[in-house]
Structure formats: C-alpha cells, structure tokens
Amino acid sequence: MSLNELCSKYLKLLSEKTKKSRTLYDRACKVLPAGVTYSIRFFEPCPFYVIKAKGCKIYDVDGNVYTDYWVGHGALILGHSHEEVVKAVKEQVELGSHFGYAHELEVELAELIIKHVPNAEMIRFTNSGTEANMYAVRLVRAYTGRKKIVKFEGGWHGGYDSLHVGVSPPYRGPESAGLPEEIIANTIVAPFNDIEGVERIFKNYGKDIAGVIIEPVLGAGGAIPAKRDFLKALRELCDKYGSLLVFDEVITGFRLALGGGQEYYNVNADVIVMGKIIGGGYPIGAFASCREVMSKLDHLKYKNKMERSFHGGTFTGNPISMTAGKATIKVLERPGTYDKLNSLGEYIIKSLKKVVEDFKLKVFITGEGSIIGIHFTYEHPWCARIAHTRRWNEDVYKLIHKFMLVNGIAYMTEHTVHFLLSTVHSKEDADYLIQKFTEFLDLIKPYVPKEAMT
C-alpha cells in the first residue's frame, strides 16, 4: 500500500462517518461554487456540516464530535459559545444589533484595545481583517505620500488586491485571475526571515516604500515565527528609510499576548492591523496607529479629500461585534490567561518534537504560543518557501488531515497542518492530539521517503 492508497482508505472511513454531510454538500454544490463559502473550507471527501459548537468541541449533522483546533479561523480564543460572550451578545441583541449611529460600545472597545496594544493611540474598526489591511495600506500610502508596499513570501493578509500577491509558490505575480499586473505593480514581495533580501529591496526602492507589512508569526504560510532579530532589523530599516512598519496581527493580536506580537517580540510597529479575536467571534477588523498617522483619516482636520485617507462601511463598529469583543478581552485580561494558554502550546510543541525525534524523521514542528504547525519537509521551514516547496509530497498532508478527522480531531486545512488553541483546550485534549500524532507517524513509517529519515 502507498501513502495515496492509505489516504483512500481513510477517505472511505470518513465518507462512512459523514453521510448526512454528503447530502448537504451535494445540495450546496448546486448553489455555492465548490459547495462552500470560502475555498479553504473545502476538504475531501466533503466538508462536515456543523450543527453546534461549544468550548473546543464541534458537533456535526451525523452525530460526530471533533476537538476543534481551528476555533473559527482563530477568532474564538475562548472557545465556542463562551458563556460570558453569549450573555453579553444576547443582552445587546435586545437593545439593537445595528444602529448605524455613534454609540458608547465602539468607544469602549477602542479604549480597551488601545490600553493593551503598544503604539496604538487611535483605532478604526472594519468588518474583516482583509478590509483592515486594505485601509491600513491606503493609510500608510496617504501618510507617506509613497506608493510601494513590501510584503513577504507566504504572508496572508486577506484577498485585497495590493496584498493578494506572493502568497503561494512561486511567490510572484497575482494570486488570482481578475487581478491585473498593473494593480499589483507597487507591491514588492520580499523573502521572509531574510534581512539581506529585504535590505536589497530597500537599496533599490527605499525612498518609494510607504510601508512594510508582516505577520509576526506567518499564519496561513505555515505557523512560522519571524525571528526576533529579523523584526528588529525591519524596524531599523523602516526608520532609516522613513517607511512605516505594519504588523498584521489579525491572528497574533490578543493571541500571543494582550499586546500581541509587539509585546511578545518587544518590537514596535507603526501601524497595527487586527481582526478575529477582537470581535469575540463576530465579524471585525481594525487598524490602529499613533495619533499623527491616524489623523490622516480625520475629515474634520483635512477638509480636502485628497489630503485624507478614506475609511468606513455600513457595519463598521456594529454593537454586536463591539460587545462580543469587549466581553472577550475582559476574560483575557484575567491574570494568568496567557501563561496558561501559551504553556499548553509550548507543551504540545515540545511533545510533538520529542515524538518526531523518537521516530527519527524529518518532520518539523513550528509555532509560537498557541499557534502550532507540523511540516513534512526535508529541512526546517523557517520561511513559507521551504514549508511549501521542500515537502516530501502532498499525500502525507492529506492523509494526516483524514487520519485526524477519523480520530475526532479537526483542523484546517488539508494542505497545511496548523493547530490553534483556545483557553478551553485541556491537557487531556493535548495528550490525545500527541497520542494520535504518534500513531500517525507509526502508520506512515513504512512509506516515508528515504531522504526524510534522519
């Protein structure tokens, strides 16, 4: 049997477990392209259909229960349906879910975030991380009067044109049809964790670079942390050339620490983009900076539209997202929250590494805090390029995804092995994951390519 045949076996097992989901998926395919509302939510044999989620458990229509390591794309750091968030939202719904006028909740959430996030003196809310990045890019261009934006190979900032570049191999050109080259002509894709590569770009374009945008830990690119020295060197380069350093903290914000990646790595960003967690499970995004930069959005200060940067939207700052975000941060503020969450992450990373060592395989565990990645690569993936181009093969990724699902462990995607923890994942959940990973390596041992043995 080959890895591929093993995969077919697990696909069959899954199909047997998810018959009702299959019926729903067939219906979905008639009305939703690929049967899904987001391509990454598809996986073989078909997505399972969720009916309920509580804590770190997900329940599907066929009666299966999964321990969830996706937690709403990383948004649900307190787990699904956290009591305090649910209570606050229920109360708010009764009072109104969308005013379309100013209200106190937007001020309160803004104050709360600014209290914790370094270098954030003012903030504006959006409906998604994509939108927040879009407005942040526009803002840094407006503030500096420059056009070029530097982003990194494998960096995922959502589907906005200027940043929908260099996400997947070969890390050149647009990531989508319908995205003309001229639209992305001012985006420069730089190598991740390679300061010399970035220096070369600055030597060529320095005075034209409005901003550099980076995830402190690559999320979709492989749960790969930026090296602290790399971030520090980026900070210095930006200072030298008068460019703004933008941290896309849509995943890392309020995940690594209350102050996000800036606090965790002790590096200052000029603009901080957030999303996910700050909405407590409801749609949100936000971008923040110092007063001076943010004042570029102030239409009362800049009467001429060509002097200011636009931002807005129907649902921005809606009371439900504000309420859920506030309730979530209030829970996160409790002493010891991050120590506990990050310790569980460290425990899993350490344990998975030990398993790999015992099996003497080239499998690499990456991550930081509660963000964890597993890579079946021939060398350590310190950048997305290695994580994606130095894989043993694709089958092993697909197989582990099915293997985990059959064993009641859910994560996304079937092309990348990433786990995101919540504060309600327990040591027992972690031990079960480690046990299943051990069983998985044992299962694939006969099929491991020779070059992947140490």
- In the complex, the residues that contact ligand PMP under the rule CB under 6 A are 73, 128-130, 133, 156-158, 215, 219-220, 248, 250-251, 275, 285
Position closest to ligand PMP via CB: 129
Beta bridge partners of 214: 247
Beta bridge partners of 122: 289
Closer CB to ligand PMP, 302 or 315, in the complex: 315
- Residue 275 Cβ vs ligand PMP, minimum distance, rounded to whole Å: 5
- The CA-atom distances, in angstroms, between 40 and each of 35, 66, 415 are 11, 18, 9
Closer CB to ligand PMP, 45 or 158, in the complex: 158
Provide the 3-class DSSP secondary structure of residue 361.
strand
Phi-psi label, residue 399: left if phi above 0, alpha if psi -120 to 50, beta otherwise: alpha
Task: Measure the CA–CA gap between 105 and 271, rounded to whole angstroms.
Answer: 23
Triad 355, 360, 365: Cα angle to 5°: 50
- Residue 188 Cβ vs ligand PMP, minimum distance, rounded to whole Å: 18
E-state strands within 369-440: 371-375, 409-410, 417-420
Closer CB to ligand PMP, 160 or 382, in the complex: 160
Task: Measure the CA–CA gap between 396 and 175, rounded to whole angstroms.
Answer: 25
Closer CB to ligand PMP, 47 or 275, in the complex: 275
Closer CB to ligand PMP, 72 or 79, in the complex: 72
- Residue 387 Cβ vs ligand PMP, minimum distance, rounded to whole Å: 15
Closer CB to ligand PMP, 156 or 364, in the complex: 156
Nearest Cα neighbor of 271 from 136, 142, 135, 117 is 136
- Residue 254 Cβ vs ligand PMP, minimum distance, rounded to whole Å: 13
- Residue 305 Cβ vs ligand PMP, minimum distance, rounded to whole Å: 26
Task: Measure the CA–CA gap between 189 and 183, rounded to whole angstroms.
Answer: 14
Place of tokens 């003497």: 360
- Residue 303 Cβ vs ligand PMP, minimum distance, rounded to whole Å: 32
Helix (H) or strand (E) run with residue 247 in it: strand 244-248
- Residues 6 or more apart whose CB falls under 8 angstroms from that of 119 comprise 262, 268, 269, 270, 272, 288, 289, 290
- Residues 6 or more apart whose CB falls under 8 angstroms from that of 173 comprise 165, 181, 184
Closer CB to ligand PMP, 45 or 317, in the complex: 317
- Residue 413 Cβ vs ligand PMP, minimum distance, rounded to whole Å: 11
- Residue 232 Cβ vs ligand PMP, minimum distance, rounded to whole Å: 20
Task: Measure the CA–CA gap between 104 and 196, rounded to whole angstroms.
Answer: 47
Closer CB to ligand PMP, 208 or 263, in the complex: 263
Q: What's the distance, Cα to Cα, between the start and end of the chain in Å? A: 23
Closer CB to ligand PMP, 55 or 158, in the complex: 158
- Residue 156 Cβ vs ligand PMP, minimum distance, rounded to whole Å: 5
Task: Measure the CA–CA gap between 377 and 394, rounded to whole angstroms.
Answer: 10
Count of CB atoms situated within 10 Å of the CB of 118: 17
